């Protein structure tokens, strides 16, 4: 088992290196001379040369990449071109906000998606299954920023039930924090909930047709117990790993959700950076998300090996 | 499998095609999807004939008017007709969906074919690169690319297409692995066919169904992605209408002019739902093995 895990960890290394190359190359596809952008109105050749030297733009690409990776490994993602604040500091500030949003969204997605998937599988061929399928497809098709706008119009503007925007830290006021995050998290969860529902449904359908389920039924185990103890336990395994993978999706979806609800998180950071042409920040955020995603992926695989008895003894 | 059935697999008999069509026809939900897609295509193609106003014509006499006989779906903050803008917006969305998927296919499928067919070090390299690209969430990669390339519809389509390509590399590779040891591939190799010929004439036609299904679903994803980029201001630039950018301005007038958000959003929802339903139906008809 340790061999499998070790091999899996080793495979992640080239992926990490490639991701870092892709992120590094992002700034190179930028049209125009970055120095001219940096210098602004200044066109003095001496200043331009100084800037080129400072950012090592005269070195060959591999050298530039090497220097950049060296800095990244030391936890230095550069400074925001606008505010001069270190990018790592910006990310450290915004990340908890988005993680709270993503965690709440994942909670809703699980609470909505998994039971719906189970019911759809158990009630196969009925109107209930049809309804669950249609709901899932709608969840996948609805643009979450539009759903956000609709909910704000209805819940905040018309009914005045929940705040329309903003962010309150849970450390400051826990209930207020939950209240402001409730709508954004629900909006963010729709697509993931739909995805989880469809996967739960197909995993359950497979499990329900397995021999051990038939055996359990023949033994006279109650239908409820067959579904929950025998089928679900086996169907849940792929879903556990799926949940870790879907976190990447949630981070991407958070970009739009945070924009609609003006939440000062990760997504807002990258969008604002895009518009102020703060490429160091964009690069840092993309790198961070990708590395996080690779680590989640790795954890998902290791988790899968650990919970799967067939692999555990390999 | 005998040599006879091998040729039969290389050129699907008409019977299996009509069976797939029959299965598709009976699937009411899939037909609904096809009807929605067709409707969006017709509205987009005939936009100039169906529009009641010039989509760019501003009017200070008609700012944020509620839906009426003149402005069927209301007017926006510059007095432009929302119905007419939505028709032209359908063009942007459809084009974004189609072009980005074509880009994804052109970039993705050849790499996947080569990777799966030849295996070895070339497969390792392509697979690692695919994994690296898949590690960056689709929308984040598209936003970063659109940001670095500069905001425009063309760049948004390139960004979406490139971001969607890894999925096609992975799919094509897996499919090639599944068929490359089939008898009909082996026999054409025994007959002395070149690798290129085997890939293009024998493997590609056989792995088309899953690619078509994935392409249809990716159109849905691409339409949402284009709307998202436009919503963020990274897609089609004003004053040209796109559903996403219409929503971007609409969110500033949620209380005063709710129609500005309701209609363009419904259009995105319906178009995406149409392609998703169609894709699901095609999967059930063409490729029943694949998991939903």
What would the pLDDT profile of B233-266 be if each residue is shown by its tens digit?
888 888 899 999 999 998 888 888 899 999 999 9
Nearest chain A Cα to B136, which residue?
A: A290
* Contact yes or no for B138 and A15 at CB 8 A: no
What is the DSSP code string of A105-121? Answer: HHHHHHHHHHHHHHHHH
Q: Is the pLDDT of residue B4 over 60?
A: no
B269/A contact by beta carbon, under 8 A:
yes
Tell me the per-residue pLDDT of A98-109, one tens digit each, with 9 for 90 and over. 999 999 999 999
Phi-psi label, residue A265: left if phi above 0, alpha if psi -120 to 50, beta otherwise: beta
Q: Which residues pair with B81 in a beta bridge?
A: B75
CA-based nearest distance B49→chain A, Å: 28
Q: What is the pLDDT of residue A89?
A: 92
B62/A contact by beta carbon, under 8 A:
no
* Contact yes or no for A143 and B272 at CB 8 A: yes
Other beta carbons within 10 angstroms of residue A80's beta carbon come to 20
Closest Cβ opposite residue A293 in set B135, B143, B231: B135
Using CB atoms and an 8 Å cut-off, which of residues 191-210 of chain B contact chain A? none
Using CB atoms and an 8 Å cut-off, which of residues 271-290 of chain B contact chain A? 272-273, 276-277, 280
Tell me phi and psi for residue A86, to 5 degrees: -55, 140
Closest Cβ opposite residue B269 in set A19, A141, A270: A141
Q: What is the pLDDT of residue B117?
A: 94
CA-based nearest distance B188→chain A, Å: 35
The whole-angstrom separation of Cα A250 and Cα A108 is 12
Closest Cβ opposite residue B150 in set A31, A255, A282: A31
Using CB atoms and an 8 Å cut-off, which of residues 280-309 of chain A contact chain B? 282-283, 285-286, 289-290, 293-294, 297
Tell me phi and psi for residue B274, to 5 degrees: -55, -50
Tell me the per-residue pLDDT of A248-296, one tens digit each, with 9 for 90 and over. 788 888 999 999 999 999 888 988 888 887 888 888 888 988 888 888 8
Q: What is the pLDDT of residue A4?
A: 81
Q: What is the pLDDT of residue B17?
A: 64
The whole-angstrom separation of Cα A165 and Cα A186 is 14
Q: Which residues pair with A79 in a beta bridge?
A: A86
Whole-number average pLDDT of chain B: 87
Q: What is the pLDDT of residue A304?
A: 78
Q: Which residues of A touch B247 (CB under 8 A)?
A: 143, 145-146, 149
Q: Which residues of B touch A150 (CB under 8 A)?
A: 261-262, 265
Cβ contact B250:B231 at 8 Å: no
The whole-angstrom separation of Cα A289 and Cα A267 is 11
CA-based nearest distance B46→chain A, Å: 25
A249/B contact by beta carbon, under 8 A:
yes
A261/B contact by beta carbon, under 8 A:
no
Closest Cβ opposite residue B255 in set A157, A289, A293: A157
Q: How confident is the model at residue B3 (pLDDT cuts 50, 70, 90)?
A: very low
Give the residue-averaged pLDDT of B202-217: 92
Tell me the per-residue pLDDT of B28-86, one tens digit each, with 9 for 90 and over. 888 999 999 999 999 999 999 998 888 888 888 888 888 988 888 888 888 899 999 99
What element of type H or E holds A306? helix A279-307
Residue B57: burial class (beta carbons within 10 Å; 0-12, 13-18, 19+): middle
Query: Which one is predicted more confidently, B203 or A125?
Result: B203
Considering Cα of A52, then A55, then A57, then A59, what sign does the dihedral take? positive
* Contact yes or no for A19 and B255 at CB 8 A: no
B129/A contact by beta carbon, under 8 A:
yes
Q: Which residues of A touch B137 (CB under 8 A)?
A: 248-249, 251-252, 289, 293
The whole-angstrom separation of Cα B75 and Cα B68 is 9
How many secondary structure helices (H) and strands (E) does chain A include?
14, 0
Query: Which one is predicted more confidently, B269 or B11?
Result: B269
Tell me the per-residue pLDDT of A204-219, one tens digit each, with 9 for 90 and over. 998 888 888 889 889 9
Query: Which one is predicted more confidently, A50 or B156?
Result: B156
CA-based nearest distance A215→chain B, Å: 26
Q: What is the pLDDT of residue B36?
A: 95
Nearest chain A Cα to B254, which residue?
A: A153
């Amino acid at each position: 088992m340790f061999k499998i895990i070790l091999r899996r960890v080793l495979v992640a290394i080239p992926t990490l290196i490639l991701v870092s190359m892709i992120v590094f190359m992002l700034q190179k596809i930028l049209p125009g001379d970055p120095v001219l952008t940096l210098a602004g109105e200044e066109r003095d050749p001496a200043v331009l040369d100084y800037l080129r030297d400072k950012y090592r733009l005269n070195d060959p690409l591999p050298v530039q990449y090497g220097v950049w990776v060296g800095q990244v490994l030391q936890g230095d993602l550069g400074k925001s071109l606008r505010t001069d604040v270190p990018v790592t500091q910006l990310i450290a500030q915004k990340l908890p906000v988005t993680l709270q949003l993503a965690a709440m969204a994942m909670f809703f997605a699980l609470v909505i998606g998994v039971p719906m998937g189970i019911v759809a599988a158990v009630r196969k061929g009925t109107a209930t299954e049809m309804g669950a399928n249609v709901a899932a497809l709608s969840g996948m098709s609805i643009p979450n920023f539009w759903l956000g706008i609709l909910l704000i119009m209805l819940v905040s503007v018309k009914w005045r039930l929940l705040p329309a925007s903003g962010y309150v830290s849970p450390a400051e006021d826990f209930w207020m924090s939950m209240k402001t995050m409730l709508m954004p998290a629900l909006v963010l969860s729709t697509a993931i909930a739909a995805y989880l529902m469809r996967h739960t449904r197909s995993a359950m359908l497979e499990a329900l047709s397995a021999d051990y389920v038939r055996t359990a039924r023949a033994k006279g185990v109650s239908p409820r117990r067959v579904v929950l103890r025998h089928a679900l336990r086996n169907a849940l395994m792929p879903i556990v790993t799926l949940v870790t993978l879907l976190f990447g999706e949630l981070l991407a979806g958070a970009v739009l959700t945070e924009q609609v609800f003006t939440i000062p998180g990760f997504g807002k950071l990258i969008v604002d950076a895009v518009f102020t042409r703060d490429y160091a920040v964009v690069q840092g955020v993309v790198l961070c998300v990708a590395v996080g995603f690779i680590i989640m992926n790795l954890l998902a695989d290791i988790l899968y090996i650990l919970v799967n008895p067939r692999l555990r003894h390999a | 499998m005998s040599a006879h059935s091998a040729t039969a697999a290389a050129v699907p008999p008409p019977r299996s095609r009509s069976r797939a069509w029959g299965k598709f026809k009976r699937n009411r939900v899939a037909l609904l999807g096809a009807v929605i897609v067709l409707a969006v295509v017709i509205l987009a193609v005939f936009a100039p004939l169906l529009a009641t106003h010039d989509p760019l014509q501003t009017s200070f006499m008609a700012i944020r008017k509620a839906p009426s006989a003149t402005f069927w779906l209301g007017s926006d903050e510059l007095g432009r007709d929302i119905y007419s803008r939505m028709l032209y917006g359908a063009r942007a969305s459809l084009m974004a969906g189609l072009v980005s998927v074509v880009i994804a296919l052109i970039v993705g499928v050849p790499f996947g074919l080569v990777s799966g067919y030849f295996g070895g070090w070339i497969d390792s390299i392509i697979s690692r690169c695919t994994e690296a690209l898949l590690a960056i969430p689709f929308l984040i990669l598209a936003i970063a690319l659109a940001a670095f390339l500069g905001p425009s519809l063309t760049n948004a389509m390139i960004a979406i297409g490139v971001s969607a390509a890894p999925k096609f590399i992975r799919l094509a590779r897996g499919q090639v692995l599944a068929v490359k040891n089939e008898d009909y591939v082996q026999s054409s190799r025994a007959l002395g066919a070149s690798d290129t010929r085997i890939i293009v004439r024998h493997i590609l036609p056989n792995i088309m169904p899953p690619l078509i299904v994935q392409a249809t679903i990716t159109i849905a994803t691409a339409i949402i992605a284009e709307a998202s980029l436009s919503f963020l201001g990274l897609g089609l630039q004003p004053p040209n209408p796109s559903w996403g950018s219409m929503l971007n301005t609409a969110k500033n007038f949620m209380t005063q002019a709710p129609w500005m958000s309701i209609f363009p959003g419904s259009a995105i929802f319906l178009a995406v739902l149409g392609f998703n339903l169609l894709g699901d139906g095609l999967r059930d008809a063409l490729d029943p093995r694949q998991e939903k």
